[in-house]
């Protein structure tokens, strides 16, 4: 266990090129109850994702140079985080990229080793402040441009296949020296390029770029299940509702997860997320005997990461780095939070559900109607209402079987559940282990509520800028003002502002200029102003003194450093520990 304060350590970086070498001199690790072994595993474990054959990924040149494509992943263009080579990362890949083995053929994926994406790519935060970097486990990777990364890989493959000299250099690196070997390599690269291009040109195509730290993950998952993997292109929807990756502490303990409170079952959530990022799945064969619902599922690894997250503590404000907390002001802010915020945002000691049939309890999370909170509503409108089921209608559960059209979300859930059930049957789990895999949730879990946003506890929220589900508010101070007074354009990728607590709105340059006037980027709602509650007004007009007191309180929680939320038990049973 690390000390309550921050620990300075030399950053382990793999230099790429002189102009891309990260400028930071130190990485600050906070005590979030994880060991170094936990971090090393989380950064590179395989969740079954297979983007590109591993040998191709290691040896492809970038589209616009002879530098290796992978050598620029940790630069400003894509924003992944460098990592040193080690037992879990023998080739020194950036955090969030892992080596995956596809042991048995899945339609479109021959057996072999692949490079894949894993949770840490989008859920490992880093706050920059005065040349230092504060690492936030399970936080928001606000430098990673996932959309740009997929498009960059697509460009790289396209250019490699059309530039004879570039292709010849790739062949030489892979030892393909004979005409036959080069021809086989080209065919393999073309097949994989087609898969990446479909993702870049359809699944992640948008009217305007999302920018780093934002993606319409929900629509990408549904597009990939309903349109790409099912081979029904008419089911495509545009990814017009970008969100920031939610922070992961308290997520396993919460009753609902995801911004729109879509899922309770953790293995369903984690498996569905992997389906959105290149999990090999067959959703287009004629029947299960020919491979339908087969996948490269890594359920036990997904269960292990969930168990790891169960003991992840929210980060405490490092006073020795970001400045002392005014405890008297924070106390006043706590009283204001109880009065104005706690009805939606659960606070310690958390309100828990009643015990279920397993005797487990979960942290209650607020489910606030979009019509009340008034924040951007695009997420509830992005999906096309109905999906064509085609031949897959024969394999739907009885209540949906044979229907030519289903609600898009229902169809996606049924396809995900079919692949998950197939993978789970292969594990041959007993009843107790199956209950554990599903996080002790009573199955079937309820359908998600319509058009709500989840209001989770705020512990550690200071480290998760920008705010609101779509990352449209730069700092905590602006979350407490009338919505009309918020900054409309600000740069992502700059330094942390410890005063307003969030992004530095004074910055005149950065990785990406976020324009909140564009569709999907609205920073309306969650407004503290005069007027009746609802339609975006959630609280009274606050004085400056009240705003700053609330900011100070939000900096101060968790009030006990490294406090892990109890899983499935009421918090009073941990009183002796706390």
Least confident of 11-20, 168-177, 336-345, 429-438: 11-20
Task: Note the pLDDT of residue 510.
Answer: 78
DSSP H helices, 174-265, are: 179-198, 217-223
Above 60 in pLDDT, residue 6? no
User: What residues contact 129, with CB distance under 8 A and at least 6 apart?
Assistant: 321, 322, 495, 496, 498
Q: What is the mean pLDDT of residues 8-25?
A: 34
d(CA 85, CA 74) in angstroms, rounded, equals 14
Mean pLDDT in residue range 452-467? 97
CA dihedral 560, 566, 572, 573 (to 10 degrees): -120
Q: Which residues, in sequence order, are bridge partners of residue 412?
A: none
Q: pLDDT tens digits, residue range 411-433?
A: 999 999 999 999 999 999 999 99
Tens-digit pLDDT profile for residues 208-223: 999 999 999 999 999 9
Conformation bin of residue 562: beta by default, left when phi > 0, alpha when psi is -120 to 50: left
Q: What per-residue confidence (pLDDT) applies to 347?
A: 96
Spatial contact of 30 and 139, defined as CB atoms under 8 Å apart: no
What was the pLDDT predicted at 507? 86
Query: Percentage of the chain surpassing pLDDT 70?
Result: 94
Burial 441-463 (b: 16+ CB within 10 A, else e): beeeeeebeeebbbbbbbbbbbb
- Residue 362 is predicted with a pLDDT of 96
Q: Residue 148: which of 200, 194, 96 has the closest Cα? A: 200
Q: What's the mean pLDDT when you consider all of the chain?
A: 92
What pLDDT is attached to residue 239? 94
pLDDT band at 4 (very low <50, low <70, confident <90, very high): very low
Do you know the residue count of the chain?
578
Q: Place 17 in a pLDDT band, splitting at 50, 70 and 90.
A: very low
- Tally the C-alpha atoms within 13 A of residue 393's C-alpha that lie toward its C-beta: 14
pLDDT band at 1 (very low <50, low <70, confident <90, very high): very low
Is pLDDT above 50 for 232? Answer: yes
Is the per-residue pLDDT at 13 higher than 90?
Answer: no
Grade residue 569 by pLDDT with cuts at 50, 70 and 90.
Answer: low
Determine the Cα–Cα distance for residues 15 and 75; give it in Å rounded to an integer: 10
**Residue 544: band (very low, low, confident or very high) from pLDDT cuts 50, 70, 90:** very high
What tokens does 176 get?
A: 């393909």
For residue 50, which of 93, 141, 112 has the smallest C-alpha distance?
Answer: 112
Residue-wise DSSP of 3-48: -SS-EEE--------GGGS----EEEEP-SS--HHHHHHHHH---S
Which one, of 538, 542, 535, 523, lies nearest residue 481 by Cα? Answer: 542
At residue 575, does pLDDT exceed 80? Answer: no
Reported as a pLDDT band with limits 50, 70 and 90, residue 447 is confident
Is residue 140 within 8 Å of residue 244, measured between CB atoms?
yes
At residue 55, the pLDDT reads 98
**Residue 551 token pair:** 């900011």
Residue 367 scores a pLDDT above 50:
yes
Residue 254 in tokens = 């919460």
What is the rounded average pLDDT of the residues 336-348? 97
Q: Report, as an integer, the average pLDDT of 322-338.
A: 98
Say whether pLDDT at 22 is over 60. Answer: no
Report which secondary-structure segment, H or E, holds 387: strand 386-388
Q: Binning pLDDT at 50, 70 and 90, where does residue 494 land?
A: confident
Q: Could you read off the pLDDT of 246-266 as tens digits, one per residue?
A: 999 999 999 999 999 999 999
């Amino acid at each position: 266990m690390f000390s309550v304060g921050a620990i300075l350590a030399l950053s382990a970086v793999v230099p790429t090129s002189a102009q891309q070498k990260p400028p930071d001199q130190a990485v600050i690790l906070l005590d979030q109850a994880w060991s170094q072994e936990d971090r090393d595993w989380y950064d590179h474990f395989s969740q079954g994702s297979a983007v590109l054959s591993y040998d191709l990924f290691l040896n492809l040149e970038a589209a616009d140079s002879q530098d290796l494509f992978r050598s620029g992943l940790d630069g400003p263009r894509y924003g992944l985080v460098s990592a040193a080579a080690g037992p879990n990362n023998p080739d020194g890949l950036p955090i969030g990229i892992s080596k995956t083995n596809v042991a048995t053929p899945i339609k479109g994926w021959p057996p072999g080793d692949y490079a894949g994406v894993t949770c840490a790519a989008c859920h490992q935060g880093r706050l920059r402040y005065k040349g230092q970097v504060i690492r936030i486990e399970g936080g928001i990777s606000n430098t990673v441009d996932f959309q740009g990364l997929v498009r960059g890989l697509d460009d790289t493959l396209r250019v490699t296949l059309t530039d004879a000299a570039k292709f010849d250099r790739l062949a030489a690196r892979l030892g393909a020296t004979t005409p036959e070997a080069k021809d086989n390599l080209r065919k393999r690269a073309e097949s994989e390029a087609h898969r990446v291009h479909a993702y870049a040109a359809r699944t992640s195509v948008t009217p305007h770029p999302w920018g780093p730290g934002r993606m319409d993950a929900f629509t990408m998952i549904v597009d990939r299940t309903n349109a790409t993997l099912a081979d029904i292109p008419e089911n495509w929807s545009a990814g017009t509702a970008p969100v920031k990756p939610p922070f992961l502490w308290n997520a396993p303990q919460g009753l609902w997860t995801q911004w729109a409170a879509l899922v309770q079952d953790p293995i369903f959530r984690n498996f569905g997320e992997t389906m959105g990022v290149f999990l090999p799945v067959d959703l287009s064969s004629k029947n299960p005997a020919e491979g339908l619902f087969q996948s490269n599922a890594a359920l036990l690894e997904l269960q292990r990461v969930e168990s790891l997250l169960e003991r992840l503590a929210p980060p405490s404000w490092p006073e020795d780095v970001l400045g002392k907390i005014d405890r008297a002001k924070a106390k006043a802010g706590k009283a204001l939070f109880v009065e104005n915020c706690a009805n939606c945002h659960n606070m310690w000691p958390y309100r828990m559900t009643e015990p279920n049939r397993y005797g487990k309890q979960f942290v209650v999370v607020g489910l606030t109607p979009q019509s009340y909170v008034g924040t951007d509503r695009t997420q509830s409108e992005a999906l096309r209402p109905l999906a064509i089921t085609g031949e897959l209608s024969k394999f739907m559960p009885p209540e949906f079987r044979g229907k030519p059209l289903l609600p898009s979300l229902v169809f996606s859930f049924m396809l995900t559940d079919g692949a998950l059930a197939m993978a789970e049957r292969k594990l041959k789990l007993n009843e107790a282990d199956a209950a554990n895999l599903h996080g002790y949730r009573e199955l079937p879990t309820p359908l998600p509520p319509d058009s709500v946003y989840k209001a989770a506890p705020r512990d550690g929220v200071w480290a998760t800028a920008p705010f609101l589900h779509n990352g449209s508010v730069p700092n905590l101070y602006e979350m407490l003002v009338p919505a009309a007074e918020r900054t409309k354009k600000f740069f992502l990728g700059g330094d942390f502002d410890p005063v307003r607590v969030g992004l530095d709105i004074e910055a005149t340059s950065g990785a990406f200029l976020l324009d909140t006037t564009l569709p999907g980027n609205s920073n309306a709602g969650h407004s503290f102003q005069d007027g009746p509650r609802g339609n975006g007004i959630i609280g009274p007009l606050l004085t400056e003194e009240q705003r700053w007191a609330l900011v100070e309180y939000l900096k101060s929680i968790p009030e006990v450093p490294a406090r892990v939320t109890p899983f499935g038990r009421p918090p009073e049973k941990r009183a002796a520990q706390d």
